[in-house]
């Protein structure tokens, strides 16, 4: 079985929307490379893709209570006067690009593993929505209740309009075997805030991050979202001794245009709460 499949599962298949949007190639693995390239298919219209990604943007940025408040207050105050007060979607392009790429990586790992991974929607907790959040781009946990064991999925995601050797190296370097899940405590704290997740929060709180790393209980995934030729850039420049790293390259015709359409659609939906 290809190492890509062993680490993060097989590429999603239709009717999963990622399986409709993308096809995949597991490139031959080496001691220094484990690369899965992703490319668009003709099985999903741009309208469907933009609508789905816009929904994910809203899901990852807004708490349900905020959406409920928006719906309730919209009739009284209107979007312009109220929605800006609870704005969680960034206006800054660089932050939008980063956030969307992180969300795509998160949703991809959820789909490829097919597991109910424990996660938190971290953008909901941003204190400055136009500033990139510190911490791990993606952190999810597979908790085995029967054996009281966990596997951590740690991810780094970057957006580049044009791919480069340097960004490939940066992603690989940030996901070395020494990399620790810095946001593990943040995840636990968020779980402890809700009565429905307090039990799992307490269980995860018993695990020590350094022990998790030393025991090899971390799977690493990097994502570069760029133009259609980014797979070649990754293939020619990926160099890592981390045997638990899967590098994903996602090439689209114009990633910046896609980002703009997705956030415009998200803003449209927020301006019309009945769509949410």
Query: What residue spans define the domains of the chain?
Result: 3-275
Q: How far is CA 268 from the centre of its chain?
A: 22
| Token pair listed for 54 | 């816009």
pLDDT in tens, the chain (276 residues): 999 999 999 999 999 999 999 999 999 999 999 999 999 999 999 999 999 999 999 999 999 998 888 787 766 655 556 666 778 999 999 999 999 999 999 999 999 999 999 999 999 999 999 999 999 999 999 999 999 999 999 999 999 999 999 999 999 999 999 999 999 999 999 999 999 999 999 999 999 999 999 999 999 999 999 999 999 999 999 999 999 999 999 999 999 999 999 999 999 898 877 777
Spell out the residues 6+ positions from residue 241 whose beta carbon is closer than 8 angstroms to its own.
31, 32, 176, 177
- Taking the mean position of all CA atoms in its chain, how far away is CA 101? 6
Q: What is the pLDDT of residue 230?
A: 97
Q: Which residues of 92-129 are buried (b: 16+ CB within 10 A; e: fewer)?
A: eeebbbbbbbbbbbbbbbbbbbeeebbbbebbbebeeb
Whether the model pTM is above 0.95? yes
In this structure, what token pair is assigned to residue 56? 């994910």
Tell whether omega for the bond before 15 is within 30 degrees of 0, i.e. cis. yes
* Alpha-carbon span 30 to 171, nearest angstrom: 18
CA distance 219 to 113: 11
Is residue 157 within 8 A of residue 105, CB to CB? The reply is yes
* Residue 251 near residue 38, CB atoms below 8 Å: yes
Residue 274's pLDDT is what? Answer: 73
Q: Shortest CA distance to 56 belongs to which of 19, 101, 86, 91?
A: 101
Dig out the tokens for 133 from the structure.
């959040």
The predicted pLDDT at position 87 comes to 86
Q: In angstroms, rounded to a whole number, what is the distance separating the alpha carbons of residues 150 and 144?
A: 6
> Among the residues of the chain, which ranges form H helices?
3-8, 17-21, 46-61, 64-82, 93-113, 165-174, 184-192, 198-204, 209-214, 230-237, 255-271
φ, ψ of residue 13 to 5 degrees: the values are -120, 155
Alpha-carbon distance of 74 to 37, in angstroms, equals: 43
Contact 174, 147 (CB under 8 A): no
Q: How many residues does the chain have?
A: 276
Structure confidence at residue 83 (pLDDT): 65
């Amino acid at each position: 079985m290809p190492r890509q499949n062993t680490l993060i599962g097989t590429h999603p298949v239709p009717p999963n929307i990622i399986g409709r949007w993308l096809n995949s190639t597991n490139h031959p693995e080496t001691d220094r490379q484990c690369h899965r390239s992703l490319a668009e298919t003709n099985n999903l219209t741009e309208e469907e893709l933009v609508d789905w990604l816009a929904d994910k943007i809203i899901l990852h940025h807004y708490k349900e209570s905020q959406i409920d408040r928006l719906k309730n207050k919209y009739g009284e105050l209107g979007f312009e006067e109220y929605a800006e007060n609870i704005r969680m979607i960034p206006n800054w392009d660089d932050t939008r690009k980063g956030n969307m790429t992180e969300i795509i990586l998160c949703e991809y790992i959820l789909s490829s593993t097919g597991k109910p991974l424990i996660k938190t929607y971290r953008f909901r907790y941003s204190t400055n929505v136009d500033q990139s959040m510190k911490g791990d781009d993606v952190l999810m946990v597979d908790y085995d209740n029967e054996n009281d064991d966990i596997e951590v999925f740690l991810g780094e995601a970057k957006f580049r309009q044009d791919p480069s050797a340097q960004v490939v190296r940066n992603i690989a370097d940030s996901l070395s075997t020494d990399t620790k899940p810095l946001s593990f405590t943040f995840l636990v704290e968020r779980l402890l805030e809700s009565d429905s997740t307090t039990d799992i929060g307490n269980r995860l709180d018993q695990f020590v991050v350094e022990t998790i790393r030393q025991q090899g209980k971390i799977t690493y995934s990097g994502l570069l979202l760029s133009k259609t030729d980014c797979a070649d850039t990754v293939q020619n420049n990926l160099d890592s001794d981390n045997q638990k790293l899967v590098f994903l390259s996602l090439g689209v015709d114009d990633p910046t245009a896609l980002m703009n359409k997705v956030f415009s659609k998200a803003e449209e939906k927020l301006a019309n709460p009945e769509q949410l």
